[in-house]
């Protein structure tokens, strides 16, 4: 494999990672969770958080910043700044928020995937970070490979070909 494969960081549920240069941030099996990815094209740096819940008010344990969009975005900006990125150059990509088993949802209720997407967009707008691309919603889980050098994200779902956003 190439060098990029050697610098792969796996981002688990409610986890985060930040890299600069040839790194690849990988997350596997996003269901209704949302991956928020921030990229500074100038510095070739990127960070990813695998957020689980749309709001801190839904959880008693709020110690982990990567679990919620409202805490994950400021946290990622801080980590990227530490890596030499300029917060004013950041662009965002979002993926995930699928609604699996949709037929069992109470009709009319807003499901968690949708709430995660809305919350993530809201926090990014408040932080003034434009969203460059999204692969959200739908009924299938996603696995992502985020190449921090150029900001490219490979999105894979079971039974379909990979696409790049």
Partner 1 sequence: MQDVRDLKALQIDALREVANIGAGHAATALSQMTNRRIMISVPQINIARLEEVPDLLGSPQDVVAAVLMHMLGDLTGRTLLLFPEAVGRRLCDMLLRRPLGTTSAYDTLEQSCIKEAGNILSGAYMNALSDFMGMLLLPSVPSLVVDVSAAVLTTTYLNFGHERDFVFCVETEFHIDAEEELHGHFLLLPDLASLKAIFDAIRLT
Binding mask 51-90 for partner 1 (x = CB under 8 A): -xx----xxxx--x--x-----------------------
Interacting residue with partner 1 among 82, 101, 125, 126 (CB under 8 A): 101
Question: Which of 62, 40, 51 has its CA nearest to residue 94?
Answer: 51
Q: How far is 131 from 36, CA to CA, in rounded Å?
A: 10
**Polymer length in residues for the chain:** 165
112-127 helix and 69-82 helix, angle to the nearest 10 degrees? 50
Residue 163 designated active-site: no
Does 139 interact with partner 1 (rule: CB under 8 A)?
Answer: yes
Q: Which of residues 11-40 bind partner 1 (CB under 8 A)?
A: 12-15, 28-33
Cβ neighbours of 56 (radius 10 Å): 15
Does 105 interact with partner 1 (rule: CB under 8 A)?
Answer: yes
Q: How far is 84 from 74, CA to CA, in rounded Å?
A: 15
Catalytic residue numbers, as ranges: 33
**Contact footprint for partner 1 (CB under 8 A):** 12-15, 28-33, 52-53, 58-61, 64, 67, 98-105, 111-113, 139-143, 157-159
């Amino acid at each position: 494999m190439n060098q990029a494969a050697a610098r792969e960081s796996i981002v688990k549920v409610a986890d985060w990672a930040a890299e600069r240069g040839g790194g690849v941030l990988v997350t596997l099996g996003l269901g209704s969770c949302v991956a928020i990815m921030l990229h500074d094209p100038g510095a070739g740096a990127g960070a990813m958080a695998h957020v689980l819940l749309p709001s801190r008010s839904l959880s008693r344990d709020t110690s982990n910043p990567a679990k919620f969009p409202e805490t994950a975005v400021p946290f990622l900006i801080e980590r990227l700044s530490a890596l030499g990125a300029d917060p004013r150059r950041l662009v965002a990509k979002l993926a995930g928020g699928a609604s699996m088993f949709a037929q069992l949802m109470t009709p009319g209720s807003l499901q968690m995937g949708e709430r995660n997407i809305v919350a993530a967009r809201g926090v990014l707008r408040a932080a003034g970070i434009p969203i460059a691309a999204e692969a959200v919603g739908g009924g299938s889980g996603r696995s992502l490979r985020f190449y921090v050098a150029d900001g490219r994200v490979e999105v894979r779902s079971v039974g379909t070909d990979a696409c790049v956003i």
